[in-house]
Structure 1
Amino acid sequence: MPPALLPGYPGPRHWHRVPATGQHYVDTGTGSPVLFLHGNPSWSYVWRHFFPVLSPHVRCLAPDLPGLGLSPRPPVPGSPLDRYTGQLDALDDLFAHLTTDRGLPGSGWTLVMHDWGGPLGVAWALRRPGVVTRLVVLNTIAFPWPPGYRLPFYLRWIRDHAPVAALVHLTGAFPHAVARLGVVRPIASAERRALLLPYARLRDRRAVVAYVRSIPRDAHDPAWTLLHAAGGQNGLADLEGLPVFLGWGLHDPVFTPLVLDAWRKRFPGARVHRYDAGHYVMEDAAGPLVHDLRAFLLETEGR
């Protein structure tokens, strides 16, 4: 992809691929490893504001989840549970490559998680006990929806109605809608085009709708079993005691303040920062969010 079409994104010398899977990731900076996990329908481009501020202090590693961003488009598994486990296996491949081939440590990692990055990141941390020592949670979830929560109607339509899902896939409506409605302040046109660029072609956005259709609806959904993986029989409780940063866009129609409250109950000692922002909190509140996150990382380094 031509770098000129990606304003603010690190240049190609920071682009790498995992030998086992071809998964694309950005690697920039020095220091302890910080793994940025994006959601759907975004990709590592959403972290561009973080890299120049944080890279003097930490090693910023931002993969594109398989099927999204600049990563390959493997066949999308038919089962939602297979989709989740496939993403976790890809994180394992990335971790093995980074620790074996690129000399990163096997512990002391920080997870920065948004949207789908939350359940995937937490499940991976439980799969790899002792690796992750800090959590940064941005408008996401890693437990069944709290009482009183209701998924927005448009996500229910896509999730539960195949004709609607097919139309959304055909038109590419979901990435375009999120790029405009997921913020309270419009993203600059050149940056919005860059955010949407990996999904311009029909064949490149198969995973986008597939993962909307994988959203868990209730506490009985098999997806939540991933949070009780081997080494994590107590789910999030096994991560108690880690420093936690909660950064929340208060105008997110999906991950509402009700979800934030549920995180606070699980991690009462977390540092909580609320922003006048939408779902893409890293776009709306880039300046204050990155400033607050840098302070958190510096103050908790080595704990």
Structure 2
Amino acid sequence: MPSYLLLAFAMGVATPAAAPDFPATLPSSSTSITYHKIDVDGVGMFYREAGPKDAPTIVLLHGFPSSSRMFDTLFPLLAPKYHLIAPDYPGFGNSDAPPPSQYTYTFDHLAESTNALLEKLKIDRYVMYLQDYGGPIGYRIAVKHPERVRALILQNANAYKEGLGAKWVNIAKFWENPDAHPEVFEAFTSFEGTKQRHIAGSTHPERYSPDLWVDEYAFLSRPGQAEIQKALLYDYRTNIASYPAWQAWFREKQPPTLIVWGSHDPSFTAAGGDAFRRDLPKADIHQLNAGHFALDEKVDEIASLILRFLGRLGD
């Protein structure tokens, strides 16, 4: 008998028969997650991996200014059935962040590096989970390698002009003349901007851990990050220019698509999620009561929708 029960029994406050029936210890949710970093064209790229390697693969591409860490809560819910790969792009998370003089920070280049990582890992057939910056990176990969894409899962990964929130009016001014509008970039990478990227519009802001924006702001404050993120914000204009090409790809290829959209996102509005129906009429679209980082407050619901959606695809 455990010592704490012997003590309680001796004091007359418990008996062995009244001892609580403790459940068996559950396995840690992270037991199947491993962390790696490999060289991709001279840049160390970090990725986290989980699930059986012979299972269907889901490639998860993160947003700004996050990293593959944004999928931490989702991994344990999908890993029992699927092989998961979530990389950090160059300049993000635990990947190398060479200065712009050594690595050209454009979305074309981030897509090339991410695709090169997948090829190096010999992953040539996958479902793509795209969020925020992961959208323009993943869409570029999909257009170049459509035969590799089994399906799309889109979480606030915009591809339509009507999905652009009010903040993009000021960002367009930055694109016209970055030097004349330093305040736009400063707001984009400020502590308050980083915080609001999570909680703005949410009806349950108490569900968001402050560690999220504290850690992300610390990341943005690292030496060299301002130059990297300024280059990418400026290059974001090429993504909007690419919307027609991506929409044409949707119409032609008709990939099975699940859309789990945080409907209160001020950056990529609910209209952006609904717009996919024009080109993907069979898309399974869900407008969630959540903000830009919907996983922060809707991970169980999103996981259930993913499992149901992928179950219909068949393995």
Pairwise same-fold verdict (TM > 0.5): yes
Q: Offset of 1:168 from its aligned partner? A: 4.6
1:251–1:77 CA distance, 2 compared to 1 (3 A): farther
Identify the residue that residue 145 of structure 1 maps to in structure 2: 161
Amino acid at match of 2:39: P
Determine if the alignment matches structure 1 residue 203 to structure 2 residue 216: no
Match of 1:17 in 2: 37
The Cα shift of 1:78 comes to 11
Shift of 1:123: 1.5
- Shift in CA distance, 66/18, structure 1 to aligned 2, threshold 3 Å: same
Q: What CA distance in whole angstroms lies between the structure 1 residues aligned with 2:302 and 2:142?
A: 23
Q: Which runs of 5+ in 2 are unaligned?
A: 1-27
CA distance in 1, matches of 2:166, 2:94: 32
Equivalence for 1:277 = 290
Match of 2:200 in 1: 181
Q: 1:75 to 1:110 in 2, by over 3 A?
A: same
| Structure 1 unaligned blocks of 5 or more | 1-7, 229-233
Contact 1:251 1:278 (C-alpha < 8 Å) held by counterparts = yes
Task: Map 1:51-90; keep pairs closer than 5 Å.
Answer: 51-76=75-100, 83-90=106-113
User: Structure 2: how far apart are the matches of 1:148 and 1:69?
Assistant: 26
- The answer to whether structure 1 residue 117 and structure 2 residue 161 are counterparts is no
Deviation at 1:215, TM superposition (A): 2.6
CA distance in 2, matches of 1:301, 1:170: 42
Tell me, in whole angstroms, the C-alpha distance in 2 between the residues paired with 1:114 and 1:226: 19
**AA at the equivalent of 2:115:** D
Equivalent in 212, 223, 236 of residue 215 of structure 1: 236
In structure 2, the residue matched to 1:235 is 249
Where 2:162 maps in the other structure, the secondary structure is coil
- Can you list the C-alpha shifts for 1:163-220, whole angstroms capped at 9, x where unaligned? 225645885554344244374433123444444453342424533333223333896x
Identify which of 65, 69, 85 aligns with 1:41.
65
Letter in 2 for 1:206: E
Q: Which residue of 2 aligns with 1:93?
A: 116
| 1:246 counterpart residue number | 259
**Stretch moving more, 169-178 or 263-272:** 169-178
Match of 1:5 in 2: none
Summarize the Cα distance change of 1:133–1:17 in structure 2 as closer, same or farther, 3 Å threshold.
Answer: same
**Offset at 1:115?**
0.8
Indicate the RMSD between aligned Cα atoms, in angstroms: 3.3
Matched residues in 1 for 2:245 and 2:235: separation?
A: 14
CA contact (8 A) 1:250 1:278 kept: yes
For the pair 1:27 / 2:27, whether they are aligned, the reply is: no
CA contact (8 A) 1:249 1:278 kept: yes
The answer to whether the 8 Å contact 1:37/1:111 transfers is yes
Structure showing greater relative contact order (alpha-carbon pairs closer than 8 Å, 6 or more residues apart): 1
Mapped to 1, the partners of 2:58 and 2:192 lie a distance apart of 32
Tell me the matched-pair count: 279
Distance 2:29 2:133 in 1: 21
Q: Which AA in structure 1 matches 2:231? A: A
Contact 2:91 / 2:98 at 8 angstroms: preserved in 1? yes
| Contact 1:149–1:258 (Cα < 8 Å) also in 2 | no
Deviation at 1:91, TM superposition (A): 1.6
TM-score (norm 1): 0.79
